Amino acid sequence: MTIKEFGCKGHFVCADRCQWSRHTEVGGKYKISSMGELWIEDKLETIGGNSLYETMVFEIKPETIAENCGSSDFLMPEIDSDRYNTCQEANEGHDKMVQKWLRKSRAKRV
**Average model confidence (pLDDT) for the chain?**
86
- Check residue 72 and give its pLDDT: 57
- Check residue 49 and give its pLDDT: 80
Categorize the per-residue pLDDT at 70 as very low, low, confident or very high, splitting at 50, 70 and 90. low
Gap between the Cα atoms of 58 and 80, Å rounded:
7
How many domains does the structure of the chain reveal?
A: 1
Gap between the Cα atoms of 31 and 58, Å rounded:
5
- Check residue 60 and give its pLDDT: 85
Angle at 22 (CA atoms; ends 107, 47), nearest 5 degrees: 105
For residue 8, is pLDDT > 70? yes
Residue length, the chain? 110
pLDDT tens for residues 73-99? 666 788 999 999 999 999 999 999 999
Residue 10 belongs to domain spanning: 3-109
